[in-house]
Chains A and B, each alone.
Chain A
């Protein structure tokens, strides 16, 4: 069970997790996702929330649903890559903003991360 952040809405977190999995190609040749209930049980979250996340990803063009069969990943995952890229950008921006408020300029933050990483 992957731990979710309880202070943030669950739906966007599910979107992020799914996005990573789509780009990572964890789904089988048919590119079919597990059932909503299974996904929900796996994360320990509400099935309605998972449903909402899937709907969002469909809107963004990452997934499509087949009536009576379930959810599938789009053959072309370039959209997923874009979405994931945007997410990463957003998080990075947020991070740099936080570090700035803690007194580090962008350049200093880069140095800081590098140091911490190679330690």
Chain B
């Protein structure tokens, strides 16, 4: 169990609003971790910083000891919270694109998952249904052998069947060396898959705890604890 991710006093301000405020924590490899918080609590900001899409105002984030950059991007697989594949490319072309840029990408795995969903590789991404676009995004991310998977709201806004698909895809592609960070505000659907949870509110980290400890010590589900912590 080595340290994979370290956040030190991470703060991000947009003008006068503070999206993240002195967030400090570490994550080990080999865990499935839930990043839980209400909408607008700073989850996406944290994830964007981790992926080098934003620079922190102060503090730093390290992935295997390195700040976000080309070499960390090569080992972090990121699923953004919006559908970004509104391009002219076909499914086949985007798969080739990923395979070209990410050395850890397995084309075989991607095609296997696409075939199981019955998505034709020749189809244009633009013409896919919203649900299928989301699934293709997930497949692209999970076809990598990354050190860290970062999934931003993977189950928000999808129907329950798709939710099961997402969860089982995460489990089926999980490898014990990697860590999966899943941000969501829909906890009850996903809590049984998690090892650990991070509770975040108004840019502050409130709690970082093992899920089994929560159940054993508090005798309640993570969802219940979440509702308690975030009641106002």
Contacts and interface: CB of A to CB of B under 8 A. Distances in A.
Interface of A: 1, 4, 6-11, 37, 40-41, 43-49, 51
B164 interface: yes
Given A45-B193, A48-B32, A48-B176, A10 B171 contact: no
Given A37-B171, A47-B176, A48-B31, A6 B193 contact: no
9 contacts: A6-B191, A8-B219, A10-B211, A41-B168, A44-B167, A44-B193, A45-B171, A46-B32, A47-B171
Contact of B215 (A9, A46, A48, A51): A9
Contacts of B192: 4, 6, 10, 43-46
Interface string B201-232: 00000000001100110011111100000000
Interface string B89-127: 000000000000000000000000000000000000000
Given A40-B171, A46-B193, A46-B195, A7 B215 contact: yes
Given A7-B224, A46-B195, 7 more contacts: A6-B192, A7-B219, A7-B220, A9-B212, A11-B212, A40-B171, A41-B168
A1 B165 CA distance: 13
Contact of A6 (B171, B174, B188): B188
Interface residues of B, number: 26
Majority secondary structure of chain B interface residues (helix, strand, loop or mixed): helix
B197 to A, nearest CB: 12
A41 B211 CA distance: 18
B30 interface: yes
Contacts of A48: 30-32, 176, 195
B194 interface: yes
Q: Which of B174, B176, B193, B211 has the most CB of A within 10 A?
A: B193
A93 B130 CA distance: 52
B174 A47 contact: yes
Contacts of A4: 192
A62 B87 CA distance: 54
A2 to B, nearest CB: 11
B2 interface: no
A103 B122 CA distance: 69
Interface in B110-163: none
B170 to A, nearest CB: 9
Contacts of B168: 41, 44
B194 A46 contact: yes
A75 B195 CA distance: 32
B195 A44 contact: no
Nearest to A37: B172
Interface string B159-190: 00000100110011010100000000000100
Contacts of A11: 212
